[in-house]
Amino acid sequence: MKNHYRQVLAFLVFFNVIFTFSDGLAQGKPKGMVKIQGTPPEEFPVFYERFHSDSAFQMSRIIFPLQGLRAEGITWTADNWELMRTRIYQVDTTQFKTKIKKKKKYFEQTLWIEGTKFSSKRRFELRGNRWFLVYAFEGSL
């Protein structure tokens, strides 16, 4: 009698697995699989404002050692990083020339003093759903 119950139980389990699998195939995906929606990408203007106004946030959004060089030819590190406070659209354009390149996952700002070799370039990239500063150059070309 115990053997009969085991056979019936095994048959029910097998039938349930087959039924669940075939139902999932009919819908094109396994039953119970739910598409998980990720958080939307961070909006660059919101990130950019906070990056320039919150020093702890700024440091958390820089990938060190940062690509690029300082004026002295030294690599940027967390120890020698100079916080960015001035947004590119706040730069004195009577003294500096500016250029911006903006794409969906990329923002690059360049400023220079015309007639000199001085220039500064910063590049931000969207990595996953968050923006990071990934490159900084400051010095003479």
Tokens linked to 10: 């095994």
> Across the chain, where does the E strand assignment appear?
62-69, 75-76, 97-103, 106-112, 118-127, 130-140
Q: Which of 98, 112, 108 is nearest to 140 (CA)?
A: 112
- CB-count burial class (<10 Å; 0-12, 13-18, 19+) for 108: middle
Is domain 44-140 given the CATH code 3.10.450.410 in the classification?
Answer: yes
Strand, helix or coil for residue 4: helix
For the whole model, what pTM was predicted?
A: 0.71
Rounded Cα distance between 138 and 71, Å, is 5
The pLDDT value given to residue 38? 80
The pLDDT value given to residue 72? 78
The pLDDT value given to residue 81? 95
How long is the chain? 141
What residue spans define the domains of the chain? 1-36, 44-140
The pLDDT value given to residue 30? 38
The pLDDT value given to residue 1? 53
Report the DSSP pairing between strands 130-140 and 62-69: parallel
pLDDT lower than 50: segments of the chain? 3-6, 8-36
The pLDDT value given to residue 10? 43
